[in-house]
């Protein structure tokens, strides 16, 4: 099986009529339907008929000499927690298994308006809570590089689909790393935009002060292209910033005005798998070779991120998930409980939510409860401020922070049963969400681990709304290395 075309390449080929959108779509549908790809469980739902109609419409527009958008005819996957009118928006949950959204999320609608063909909904951890996609009610997704290994999470379906060449790009969501970490585990590019850069309208809320939708692609250029399409103000989301959206693709290349100052924190080197540290050292050398100045940075609060995140995110989740009561949304317990409203709530929620979601709701209601609010929630908000201060100080000394995306590579399915062990793997990603800054994960080579070749990722972080500097630094790295070109050999398990 071969794939690996880029969004830009395919959009150009379709726009200049060397490839028909319908043929490009059929090729992708064929790849998705191949047994080895089906075994990965990347898609929860594929919208073949609707996608065919959309691709035909693009070809007809081109035949008629009409304008098409920058994503004309390109098949894109959408994470299952981003509402679209196509099929059901299940959020990886039994609770919303049959939920048909009456509207389409702004980010997804902007893809459609730019000519993209939404090909299907990608698997994810239930309500985006997790780091491995094992918490999906629809079964885990496998890592295309090693069957039986996790693809990361929670946007594991999107990452695995792009890595396996089933679609050249996908949308993910990132509350504490769910775009960047699966991108690292699957060897692709994943961008968490600054908080407010992309509308959250239609993204099923997890931690509203942390959530962002972002692109998952094979190249930095494609990420810049998708981000440019989905970013920008939205009257439906008052937290979406009014900042103008630069032309990210046009600004990608070209020499920097001044040598790039790349900051590396001591805290980024502790407790990593040796292969992760080796990839970081290699990345430092790559940047040095481009004339960048490497700056030592101290982020004294970096290690407090996990504790802070795992108070704030569950607190917000417990409030956001209160709406799933078996009355207005989603699943109602069967047989229908007849012992009063409370009974209906309790039974519907017990049936509909999986164990990780229940754990988050309990944790969140606990830290928000009257007796513990000051001890946990208010303390976490203070820690959030301090983590932001760390970044503010760091970005006076450097333009971009370089570190690993995750302390390990992908791990075998079922390997992290202890929730805390799973949470600790988010150490390098949660702080960007806590501070509202932007981050990107880039392919950084392959490691031979336990008989498998597993991708490594490095992360770049920049100040809020400085995606241009981040993407330019990412492109610089990508241009010096060939790591993103590697693709897994798919074969049935």
- Could you give the residue numbers annotated as active site? 79, 154, 178
Nearest-5° angle of CA 27, CA 32, CA 34? 95
Task: Enumerate residues 108-137 that contact ligand GLN by CB under 6 A.
Answer: 128-131
| Nearest distance, CB of residue 376 and ligand GLN, angstroms | 16
Q: Choose one: 29-37, 167-175, 246-254, 285-293; the region binding ligand GLN (CB under 6 A).
A: 167-175
- Touching ligand GLN, residues 220-279 (CB under 6 A): none
Residue 326 Cβ vs ligand GLN, minimum distance, rounded to whole Å: 24
Smallest distance, Å, CB 75 to ligand GLN?
24
Choice between 27 and 319, CB closer to ligand GLN: 319
| Cβ 314 vs Cβ 175: under 8 Å | no
Give every strand in the sheet of 438-449, ordered side by side: 43-46, 117-122, 75-79, 169-174, 212-217, 189-192, 438-449, 452-462, 400-404, 261-265, 293-297
| Span 380-439, contacts to ligand GLN by CB under 6 A | 426
Taking the least distance from each CB to ligand GLN, the nearer of 59 and 356 is 356
- Report the alpha-carbon distance of residue 197 to residue 201 in Å, rounded: 12
The answer to whether residue 459 forms part of the interface with ligand GLN (CB under 6 A) is no
Query: Distances in Å between the alpha carbon of 428 and those of 74, 154, 301, 309?
Result: 32, 15, 12, 12
- The CB-nearest residue to ligand GLN is 178
- Provide the minimum distance between the beta carbon of 255 and ligand GLN in the complex, in angstroms, as a whole number: 35
Helix H or strand E segment including 385: helix 379-397
**Which span sits near ligand GLN by CB under 6 A: 171-179, 233-241, 289-297, 375-383?**
171-179
d(CA 318, CA 360): 7
State which residue, 131 or 408, has the beta carbon closest to ligand GLN.
131
Residue 383 region, left (φ>0) first, then alpha (ψ -120 to 50), else beta?
A: alpha
- Report the phi/psi class of residue 461: left, alpha or beta, with left for phi > 0 and alpha for psi in -120 to 50: beta
Q: Spell out the long-range contacts of 14-19 with Cβ–Cβ below 8 A and sequence spacing 24 or more.
A: 14/58, 14/62, 14/68, 14/72, 14/73, 14/74, 15/62, 15/68, 15/72, 15/73, 17/62, 19/73
Write out the binding residues for ligand GLN, residues 290-319 only, by CB under 6 A: 313
Beta bridge partners of 455: 446
**Nearest CB to ligand GLN, comparing residues 125 and 399:** 125
Phi, psi of 180 (to 5 degrees): -70, -45
Minimum CB distance to ligand GLN smaller for 131 or for 143: 131
Q: Compare residues 106 and 429 and give the one whose CB is closer to ligand GLN.
A: 429
CB 178 to ligand GLN: min, Å: 3
Closer residue to ligand GLN (CB): 140 or 488:
140
Q: Shortest Cβ distance from residue 132 to ligand GLN (Å)?
A: 8
Half-sphere exposure of 311 (CA within 13 A, CB side): 20
According to CB under 6 A, which residues from 174 to 203 bind ligand GLN? 174-178
Beta bridge partners of 76: 118, 169
Nearest distance, CB of residue 380 and ligand GLN, angstroms: 14
Where in 20-79 is the site for ligand GLN (CB under 6 A)?
none
The residue among 90 and 128 lying less far from ligand GLN, judged by its C-beta, is 128
> Which range of residues in 94-102, 170-178, 228-236, 327-335 is near ligand GLN by CB under 6 A?
170-178
Tell me the site size for ligand GLN, rule CB under 6 A.
14
In what helix (H) or strand (E) does residue 355 lie, and over which residues does it extend?
A: helix 355-368
Binding mask 201-220 for ligand GLN (x = CB under 6 A): -----x--------------
Each residue 138-157 as x (binds ligand GLN by CB under 6 A) or -, in order, gives ----------------x---
Nearest to 443 by CA among 412, 399, 487, 489: 487
Sign for the CA dihedral angle at 88, 211, 183, 291 comes to positive
Residues that bind ligand GLN (CB under 6 A): 128-131, 154, 173-178, 206, 313, 426
């Amino acid at each position: 099986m071969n794939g690996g075309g880029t969004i830009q390449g395919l959009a150009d080929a379709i726009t200049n009529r060397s490839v028909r959108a319908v043929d490009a779509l059929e090729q992708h549908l064929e790849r998705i339907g191949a047994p080895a790809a089906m075994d990965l469980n990347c898609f929860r739902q594929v919208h073949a008929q609707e996608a065919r109609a959309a691709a035909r419409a693009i070809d007809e527009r081109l035949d008629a000499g009409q304008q098409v958008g920058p994503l004309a005819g390109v098949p894109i996957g959408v994470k299952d927690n981003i509402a679209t009118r196509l099929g059901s928006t299940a959020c990886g949950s039994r609770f919303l298994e049959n939920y048909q959204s009456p509207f389409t999320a702004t980010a997804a609608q902007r893809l459609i308006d730019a000519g993209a063909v939404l090909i299907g909904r990608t698997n994810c951890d239930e309500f985006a809570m997790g780091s491995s996609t094992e918490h999906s009610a629809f079964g885990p997704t496998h890592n295309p590089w090693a069957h039986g290994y996790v693809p990361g999470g929670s946007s594991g379906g999107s990452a695995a689909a792009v890595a396996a060449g089933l679609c050249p790009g996908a949308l993910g969501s990132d509350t504490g790393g769910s775009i960047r970490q699966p991108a690292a585990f699957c060897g692709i590019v994943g961008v968490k935009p600054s908080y407010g850069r992309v509308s959250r309208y239609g993204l099923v809320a997890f931690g509203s002060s942390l959530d962002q939708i972002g692109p998952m692609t094979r190249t930095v250029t494609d990420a810049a292209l998708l981000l440019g399409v989905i970013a920008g103000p939205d009257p439906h989301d008052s937290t979406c910033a009014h900042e103008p959206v630069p032309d990210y693709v046009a600004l990608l290349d070209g020499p920097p005005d001044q040598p790039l100052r790349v900051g590396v924190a001591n805290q980024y080197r502790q407790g990593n798998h040796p292969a992760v540290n080796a990839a970081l050292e290699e990345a430092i050398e790559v940047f040095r070779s481009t004339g960048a100045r490497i700056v030592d940075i101290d982020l004294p609060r970096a290690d407090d991120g996990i504790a802070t995140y795992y108070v704030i995110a569950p607190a917000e989740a417990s409030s956001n998930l209160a709406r799933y009561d078996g009355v207005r949304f989603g699943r109602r317990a069967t047989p229908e409980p007849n012992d009063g409203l409370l009974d209906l709530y309790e039974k519907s929620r017990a049936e509909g939510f999986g164990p990780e979601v229940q754990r988050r709701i309990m944790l969140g209601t606990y830290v928000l409860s009257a007796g513990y609010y000051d001890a946990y929630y208010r303390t976490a908000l203070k820690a959030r401020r301090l983590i932001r201060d760390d970044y503010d100080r760091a970005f006076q000394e450097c333009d971009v922070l370089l570190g690993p995306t995750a302390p390990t590579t992908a791990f075998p399915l079922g390997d992290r049963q202890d929730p805390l062990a799973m949470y600790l793997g988010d150490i390098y990603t949660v702080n960007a969400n806590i501070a509202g800054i932007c981050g990107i994960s880039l392919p950084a080579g392959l490691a031979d681990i336990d008989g498998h070749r597993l991708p490594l990722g490095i992360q770049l972080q920049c100040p809020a709304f400085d995606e241009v500097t981040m993407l330019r630094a990412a492109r610089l790295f990508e241009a010096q290395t060939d790591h993103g070109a590697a693709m897994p050999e798919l074969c049935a398990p």
